[in-house]
Chain A
């Protein structure tokens, strides 16, 4: 059973701080990794993808990938109250192509 693990939180950070969200995965052969944001009552929205070791930056978001440690993270700089949501880590299954999701981490950014 291929698994994706996240701390469910909630993770609370003050406005302007850096939020760090973490994810581990079990399938060493995984190649593509995704972060989705999900507001309460809404569907997931893709915010970042990464498939090479190292960092990938997009605005206030940085995704970090370490395949040797089977670890993916998302950093949100200058956190805003509007960033308060659940963040889902997903890993593409190489055998079928579907995405396997973690249980999500709830982030709360306090003004």
Chain B
């Protein structure tokens, strides 16, 4: 069990470019969550998957954002036509339903800077 892994750790991109982040959850966890966190704020929920099914999306998730979890394993979060307001830490977390009362485990995050 190597924990939740996120790549890349840092990403600097020019406004208007597309970026994609990857999250590898803890292997036995079937739930995977994406959050966004800006400086001085708590994590804001974006979306979550149970296995390969995307069960909930926040209204924060505009049509420029898309997330996938093929085969219920790793997940990707893509942001198209990035804007400066997309600069944030993108956090992935995973959990298993049986242990859901115990909260979930976060990865180290991907810090996105849009210039």
Contact = CB atoms under 8 A, between A and B. Distances in A.
How many of chain A's residues touch chain B, expressed as a range?
A: 20 to 34
A103 B41 contact: yes
Nearest to B109: A43
Contact of A43 (B31, B97, B108): B108
B42 interface: yes
Given A43-B109, A49-B101, A96 B41 contact: no
A42 B108 contact: yes
Interface in B66-115: 89, 91, 97, 100-109
A51 B89 CA distance: 29
A103 B45 contact: no
Given A43-B106, A43-B109, A103 B100 contact: no
A62 interface: no
Contact of A101 (B43, B55, B109): B43
B33 A51 contact: no
Contact of A97 (B31, B35, B42): B31
A26 B86 CA distance: 28
8 contacts: A8-B40, A43-B91, A43-B109, A46-B103, A98-B45, A98-B48, A99-B103, A103-B40
Given A49-B101, A49-B103, A103-B40, 15 more contacts: A4-B42, A32-B103, A43-B89, A43-B107, A43-B108, A88-B43, A90-B103, A97-B31, A97-B48, A97-B97, A98-B45, A98-B56, A100-B45, A101-B42, A103-B41
